[in-house]
Structure 1
């Protein structure tokens, strides 16, 4: 049986694990309905206040108006939109539906890596509506602007919005050790992020591996030239393996139906 299949799948698995690790580092740990913290820092929507701060914003069709308040519940129109975070009203004001409550807020990550907040609410008829707000950082926008896309054509009762604001930016450098007894002016240090620590450990390990390997190759095995590089044969094959792995990914992880002749 061909052994190349296992080699290619190993490379593909390594690439997928790298993407998964990056995604895990970027995920935001929620702290209440308005705040979350990741390796990039802290994102806090609390300063966005109003009743609501974004009111009667038209969707792309012009048929519906949406209001949104990320942190403070508001009431609009009929009793359906009472103490909500998001509300949908028809352009003629004849229909009103809740599309999310503040306490239902859940921070997550979009397919493009963006930070999103998802809200949900169930009306008196039992219909549950969901609002997904994508957060876009703009240091000059305070409180910011709300762009309402409207209902997802492929997912009924799901509504998409984009909030562009300075409060949608991450501040600091992520969670780290608290300030010492004398943090000095301006507070304590933000500390190192998880990603920074992993990079430092990786670089230090690689340096020790190369230095010790060269010393052993030259001192013990009396190697010279490129052979002083530890496991040179293995490392020289890595670029080719990566290339083959990428090509194999696009072809799909399918084995050959034939076997090598014995």
Structure 2
């Protein structure tokens, strides 16, 4: 019974962890390379995108440094040594790709909120993280922080725009589609339910066996031995 109680506690805390974690993080499920859907609606950056193979935001200088960065949501662009990219880094002599539109992934940071991450590997792996800041009064502004942590190959930008705000949801194009987190929650909850069912069955079997053993013990102690009774009766006749 102690083992059963321990398993029940473990399963309870697993369920509590999954529930709290699901409530704290509002994942934005990718629809396209520049749009996603969360519990409140859809974020769509396509009105900001340049469609002529150039960057919407071109050669924006980082806060502290000598590098310049270009970025375009939704559609790829080319700039000198950067070909078919979503982001480009340059010192005006050398050009480095910071990811493709295909690699776009929507992620949520507990502190800074929603961002899009792009990856590319040319000479070394470089990662571009574009944080989305909602501002209804701003059409589109890009601030470049640069490498963060300093010296790393991870580059941060902040895109401030009204298009980074959530819009009312439209019809879900695929209501049966689940995010990775949703699948994880479904799998964990299924495991918990199966484990509980197994524990209930095992507990029932153990209880039944204990009851049967108790009955057998009781019958053994209450039924008299016929041979002993026979000997006692012969002794009385003599």
Distance in 2, matches of 1:177 and 1:101, equals 25
2:142: which partner in 1? 146
Q: Tell me the residue number matched to 1:66.
A: 69
Q: 1:89/1:113 Cα in 2 relative to 1: closer, same or farther (>3 Å)?
A: closer
- Provide the residue aligned with 1:88 in structure 2: 89
- Give the structure 1 partner of residue 121 of structure 2: 122
SS at match of 2:167: coil
SS across alignment from 2:20:
helix
Question: Where in structure 2 are the equivalents of 1:202-241 lying within 5 Å?
Answer: none
Cα distance in 2 for partners of 1:175, 1:152 equals 38
> What RMSD in Å do the two structures reach over aligned CA positions?
2.8
Structure showing greater Rg? 2
For the residue of structure 1 that corresponds to 2:166, the secondary structure is coil
Contact 2:112 2:131 in 1 (8 A): no
The equivalent residue for 1:21 is 22
Which residue of 2 is the match for residue 165 of structure 1?
161
Corresponding residue for residue 130 of structure 2? 133
**Preserved contact between residue 41 and residue 175 of structure 1 (Cα < 8 Å):** no
Confirm or deny: 8 A CA contact 1:38 1:174 kept in the other structure.
no
Structure 2 distance, partners of 1:129, 1:55, is 19
Give 2:49's aligned residue.
49
Cα distance between partner residues in 1 of 2:115 and 2:170: 18
2:181 corresponds to: none
TM-score of the aligned structures, taking structure 1 as reference length: 0.56
SS in 2 for 1:150: strand
Tell me the residue number matched to 2:111.
112
**What is the TM-score when the length of structure 2 is the normalising length?**
0.62
Q: For residues 14 and 155 of structure 1, what CA distance do their matches in structure 2 show?
A: 41
Secondary structure class of the residue paired with 1:139? coil
Q: Distance in 2 between matches of 1:170 and 1:12?
A: 33
2:193 aligns with none
Task: Answer yes or no: is the 8 Å Cα contact 1:37–1:174 preserved in 2.
Answer: no
Q: Is the 8 A contact 1:38 1:175 kept in 2?
A: no
Deviating 4+ runs (over 2 angstroms)? 8-19, 173-178
What SS is found at the alignment partner of 1:109? strand
- Displacement of 1:16 in angstroms is 3.5
2:112, 2:12 → 1: CA distance?
24
The count of residues paired between Structure 1 and Structure 2 equals 167
Q: For 2:98, what is the secondary structure of its paired residue?
A: strand
Contact 1:105 1:119 in 2 (8 A): yes
Checking the alignment, whether the CA contact within 8 Å between 1:55 and 1:67 is kept in structure 2 is yes
Q: In 2, distance between residues paired with 1:52 and 1:28?
A: 25
In structure 1, list runs of 5 or more residues that go unmatched: 179-262
Cα distance, 1:108 vs structure 2: 1.2
Q: Does structure 2 conserve the Cα–Cα contact (< 8 Å) formed by 1:105 and 1:117? A: yes
